[in-house]
Structure 1
Amino acid sequence: MKRLIARLWRGIRGPVQWRLLYLSQAKFIVGVTGVVRDVDGNVLLLRHRFWPEKRPWGLPTGGAKRGETFQQTVVREVREETGLEVRVGELVLVRSGFRLRVEIAYAATYTGGGTMRLNAMEILEARWCAPDDLPEGLLESHRQLIESR
């Protein structure tokens, strides 16, 4: 029976195989976070409009879009939320998140971009913080990411 299934699988190559894989596998949202630091080691933190009032502070974060790498997601999210430019470094976290979410985090370095321009729809405030002087209301998982780097 296993040989027959393997023979059938090899025989349906291409789009049909991909469609069957797509239909049979779990679907996830991929949240990507950037642990962005400046040359002095300060970390970029944002007060997010749509996050819970008691935990509004966090790192630049957003959902990966179809067709972009996770590194490109970090660059895009930081640019969209702050107007700043970053260079993405090493992968620092991959884990299953809440329900159907996969969480990815990368270290990143601020490279410029002029003055900060916040996306007022999503971000209420941004600040560079020393790792030993993080604000109250910082998402605990983001605090752990900062402290682990």
Structure 2
Amino acid sequence: MGNTDRGKVWLAVSGLVISEDGKWLVVKKKYGGLKGKWSLPAGFVDQGETVDEAVIREVAEETGIHCNIKGLLGVRTGVIKSEISDNMLVFLLEANAGQEIQVQTNELYDVKFMLPDELKKEKDASILLHYLLDSPISTIKELQDGINPGDQFGYTAYKLFF
């Protein structure tokens, strides 16, 4: 939650989880610019993890829902107060079957699955959520793993989304 130790370049991840019956997993945050708004589960990438590992961890921590990566939907990037580079990768995720939502109450007011039509009418939905609701989810970049760019780099993890 505290961004003071993140320096001036932030890397965050967010996950769009769509249930088998077409509902979207949304969270209502207790802090920050999205306080009191419905948005996608999201958080910062930690040291020593890849972006796909980070989004799976964040969604599980915030909602109790464990997921698999379907692919990369896109990137949100901006600059805050002409100084902080704020970058977020948005992934499409698939929830593992038969799970109950568990709200991370220290960070969130609520978590629920909502139909896109319900979310479109929700005045408290984030701008990004409204944008995603109005855009067809067509091209996703799928995870490519098991590629070695060369031992000279010393990667312990190396993944592509193309």
What's the TM-score, normalizing by structure 1? Answer: 0.75
5+ unaligned residues in a row in structure 1: which ranges?
A: 1-25
The number of equivalent residue pairs is 124
Q: Percent identity?
A: 27
**Structure 2 match to 1:20:** none
Cα distance in 2, alignment partners of residues 81 and 112 from structure 1: 17
Q: Determine which of 34, 45, 63 is the counterpart of 2:44.
A: 63
Q: CA RMSD in A?
A: 2.0
Give, as a single letter, the amino acid of the residue that structure 2 aligns with 1:105. V
Give 1 or 2: higher helix fraction.
1
Give, as a single letter, the amino acid of the residue that structure 1 aligns with 2:131. Q
Aligned pairs for 1:1-149 within 5 A:
27-52=8-33, 56-99=37-80, 100-112=85-97, 114-134=99-119, 135-148=122-135, 149=137
Shift of 1:107: 0.5
Shift of 1:38: 0.5
Cα distance in 2, alignment partners of residues 113 and 70 from structure 1: 25
- The answer to whether the Cα contact below 8 Å between 2:14 and 2:89 also exists between their aligned partners in 1 is yes
**Larger-Rg structure:** 1
Q: 1:39 to 1:101 in 2, by over 3 A?
A: same
What's the TM-score, normalizing by structure 2? Answer: 0.69
5+ unaligned residues in a row in structure 2: which ranges?
A: 1-6, 138-162
